[in-house]
A = this chain, B = another copy of it.
């Protein structure tokens, strides 16, 4: 066995062993560790920034983009944000042990379902070192052991954050192996992890589509992920035009680089002529480039024609494809054909169309008269977000603490046997 293989196996086995202990920790002990982590990050911020500067120097030598270096940087603000995030997790209810109903069977058995941790979770991510603290906090609060594998470009930052986390665990009665960072930059280490289904229960990849596809291709362990967010807003015939403009502008420009931003606007043909020109004006002022279907181009004249590729594109930028549709049916078929199961919104004053959109569009988040930007764990009231799933299995949409648990059946008997 190569030393890398052995090293990964050791980490993963330690996580499995720790997972049994972590699952039984009291809420008080877990919260104490989370607070100690938050304090440790603030107290250790100079050391964290020093470690981070090594990563940033290396990134500059490798000529990484400014955006990438931004994401990599641990400023005082980012460190304070990590600490605040951990303190917020302390305030969230502990999902472990919750019993979601007990029913009685004809033979007297009382059957219920109890939330338990998933066990060992592997998080594979890129760039942002703050994921190290965020993910560690959520996994610990939900009673899971976690193995963190950040990008090679952030290895020094991640190891420094991990040091703070481990010391906080040790001082609070949490096994030091509850949170482990894979201390190597070799991609082989990820491949090794993804084979060890006997020890790891779930993999959550966070990052670009390339990383996520690599993980899905190579994993024997269940993976929860989303590749991309091609989110739609459908402006119905009956839409209030001011509300529709406000929602569309917000969905596109409030933060265009994220997965819940609108990428395609669908407009009812009977609303198009009065809605599109003033909307176009507002988009132009916000610097948004439009790419339209033939009917859109007929109305707006000077915009670019959309190609077939535009309908499936996640621009993550101030670009928007626009299509005029004959009505709700066509809007829904367009979403079924080109959507990514992420987030879709209808703007309408029509009761029946609102109901049909909510019932028939089976993306992970479906809204009526609200911006797609609300598709987010905090905005929806989950109190946290470990990621967003467009996989329909286990969790669909933003994932909070509850989605880091599973439910076992518990049965109270008085000697029942099966006849």
Q: Interface on A for B, CB 8 Å cutoff? A: 20, 23-24, 97, 103, 105, 109, 111, 114, 116-119, 197, 201-202, 216-217, 220, 222-224, 240, 243, 246-247, 249-251, 254, 336, 358-360, 362-371, 373-375, 379-381, 391-394, 396-398, 406-418
A358 — which chain B residues lie within 8 A by C-beta?
114, 410, 412
Which of the residues B224, B374, B380, B408 comes within 8 Å of A393, measured between beta carbons?
B224
Q: Which one of B97, B114, B362, B373 contacts A418 once the chains associate, using CB atoms below 8 Å? A: B373
Q: Is the CB of A393 within 8 A of B362?
A: no
CA distance A396 to B412 in the complex (A): 18
Chain B residues positioned under 8 Å from A216 (CB to CB): 197, 220
Contact B243 A411 (CB under 8 A): no
> Do B408 and A111 touch (CB < 8 A)?
no
A393 and B396 within 8 A (CB)? no
- B409 contacts A365, C-beta separation under 8 Å: yes
A109 contact set on B, CB distance < 8 A: 370, 374
Distance from A199 Cβ to chain B, minimum over Cβ atoms (Å): 13
**A267 → B minimal CB distance (Å):** 17
Give the docked Cα–Cα distance between A280 and B105 (Å). Answer: 31
10 contacts between A and B (CB under 8 A): A24-B360, A197-B216, A217-B220, A222-B222, A251-B417, A358-B412, A367-B413, A371-B416, A373-B418, A374-B418
> Could you say which of A119, A368, A411, A412 has the most chain B C-beta atoms within 10 Å of its C-beta?
A411
Complex contacts, A368 vs chain B, CB 8 Å:
411-413
Taking the closest CB of chain B, its distance from the CB of A413, in whole angstroms, is 3
- Cβ-defined partner of A411 (8 Å) among B118, B197, B374, B413: B374
Beyond A119-B392, A220-B216, A381-B111, is A366–B410 a contact (Cβ under 8 Å)?
yes
Tell me which of B223, B224, B247, B363 contacts A415 (CB under 8 A).
B247
Contact at B393–A222, with CB atoms within 8 Å? yes
| Cβ contact of A20, chosen from B23, B336, B408, cutoff 8 A | B336
